[in-house]
Structure 1
Amino acid sequence: MARRGEELRTHILYAAKEVFLELGFERASMDQVAARAQTSKRTLYAYFASKEALYLAIVEYVRGVSLERVKTPADYPGPPLEALAQFLARFMQSALHGPAIQMSRMSIGVASRFPDGAAEYFEVAFQSVAERIAVFLRGTFRLTPRTANDAANALLGRILVPRFLRALFAVDPLPPAIPLPPDTPPVSSSDLGLARELIAEIVEPLIEH
């Protein structure tokens, strides 16, 4: 049965993401996307008016996938600080897997000529995660918005460096892709241990006063 409507749009986005990751934004073309999606250029343009519009739609698609994988700290079991540690460890797993690193590289590559696209990906990949942490800290521990935001950004900055940068610049091998739930593997004990250490250093002093 032929795909239609939202199913076809999602199929095109998945195919387009693969083309963009393989070739980069500049080299990827709408012809290649149409061929990979096994649809016509006319159909492709009916959904996406330009390659830039298609890229922004891919970023929004990635947002949904990332949210499904990472969720929010409140979705994890256990005491609040342990739930936050689980969330951070899952975020690291998601941020370091191959397609996420490739998307980051591509977004950096187009930042000078397509800043809106790069900024949108930054919001999806990092800022939205910081906001989820800050919301959790405000609601759970009654921290002020500024304190919660500062703590969230500190947590992300400390847990990302240096492993994310080493993967981004190909110092370390590109990690493999990870499947979506329910097949997503458990988080690593090292990531979870680091998350707990950072929470003890950054968050616990704020809630003890």
Structure 2
Amino acid sequence: MAQVKRGAVTPARRRYAKRLQPADRREQLLDAALHIVAESGFADVSIAAVAERGGVTRPVVYDSFGSRDELLADLVERETTRMREAVLRAMSEVDGSIESGADPRDVLAAALVRFLAEVRAMPETWRLVYFPLSGVPSTLRERVEQAHDEPRGPLHRVLGAWLTGRPDADEVDLDVLVQLIQGLIQTAARLVLDEPDRFDVDRILAPFELVLFQES
């Protein structure tokens, strides 16, 4: 038997990626791509960058995604689906609360609290929508922009209920009001994403209610 010379350096074993089921591997690689997008934008996403971030080789990435475009399309599909589900959870009680006669101001405030909690829970996902990211492929830009408008339907209903019976209701364009409030909500989300420790829910909610819901 050959003897190892004293003092000889034993080559380090190459580390191999943990074997995962195909679906789990796809999720892992999509997570790696999401981290890259959140940090530096779509332009920096490549098969090589995702492989390095995921701790695998490029052939492993190609086993899951045929191209960079396919990977990005699947990433946007996954994240916009997550956003849509989060908005549905945040707005889930809006219609029932309005029908039961709850004050629309309380309904909207509660929905805002739930929505900001969803944003805090998935910051990298929401950065795709609320922060300007370089290199968004033109074929995906429409999908990303649509995610901005997910709350519009529930907002239209709750603000319409709020205007009902107000003496100045005829002077207010509901569509304009919805877009203005949607802009305030998006600004609140950006504050939470940018400085979550500084901007808690109470700090955001107080001026929001003051600006929107002054007593008539």
Could you tell me the TM-score, scaled by structure 2's length?
0.61
Q: Compute the displacement of 1:90 (Å).
A: 4.1
Flag structure 1 segments of 5+ consecutive residues without an equivalent.
178-186
- Once the two structures are overlaid, the 10-residue window that deviates more, 39-48 or 12-21, is 39-48
Aligned to 1:152: 178
Aligned to 1:137: 158
Aligned to 1:44: 61
Q: Compute the displacement of 1:11 (Å).
A: 1.9
Flag structure 2 segments of 5+ consecutive residues without an equivalent.
1-17, 165-172
> What residue identity is the alignment partner of 1:8?
R
Structure that is richer in helix per residue: 1
Match of 2:135 among 88, 110, 114: 110
Q: Distance in 1 between matches of 2:162 and 2:69?
A: 41
Q: Structure 1 residues 13 and 89 mapped into 2: Cα distance closer, same or farther (>3 Å)?
A: same
Q: Compute the displacement of 1:62 (Å).
A: 1.9
2:205 is paired with a residue of what secondary structure? helix
Q: Distance in 2 between matches of 1:173 and 1:75?
A: 24
Q: Structure 1 residues 130 and 13 mapped into 2: Cα distance closer, same or farther (>3 Å)?
A: same
Q: Structure 1 residues 94 and 48 mapped into 2: Cα distance closer, same or farther (>3 Å)?
A: same
Aligned to 2:38: 21
1:200 lines up with 2:200 in the alignment: no
Determine if contact 1:98/1:174 at 8 Å carries over to the other structure.
no
Q: Distance in 1 between matches of 2:36 and 2:184?
A: 32
1:87 lines up with 2:111 in the alignment: yes
Q: Distance in 2 between matches of 1:104 and 1:160?
A: 7
> What residue identity is the alignment partner of 2:144?
Y
Aligned to 1:174: 194
> What residue identity is the alignment partner of 1:188?
V
Aligned to 2:5: none
Q: Compute the displacement of 1:131 (Å).
A: 3.2
Q: Structure 1 residues 196 and 36 mapped into 2: Cα distance closer, same or farther (>3 Å)?
A: same
Determine if contact 2:46/2:68 at 8 Å carries over to the other structure.
yes
Q: Structure 1 residues 123 and 200 mapped into 2: Cα distance closer, same or farther (>3 Å)?
A: same
Match of 1:6 among 11, 20, 23: 23
Q: Structure 1 residues 158 and 27 mapped into 2: Cα distance closer, same or farther (>3 Å)?
A: closer
Could you tell me the TM-score, scaled by structure 1's length?
0.62
Aligned to 1:184: none
- Once the two structures are overlaid, the 10-residue window that deviates more, 85-94 or 29-38, is 85-94
Q: Distance in 1 between matches of 2:34 and 2:117?
A: 20
Percentage of identical aligned residues:
17
Determine if contact 2:26/2:64 at 8 Å carries over to the other structure.
yes
Deviations 1:47-68 (A, max 9, x none): 3333233223222222233345
Aligned to 2:91: 73
Q: Distance in 2 between matches of 1:160 and 1:29?
A: 29
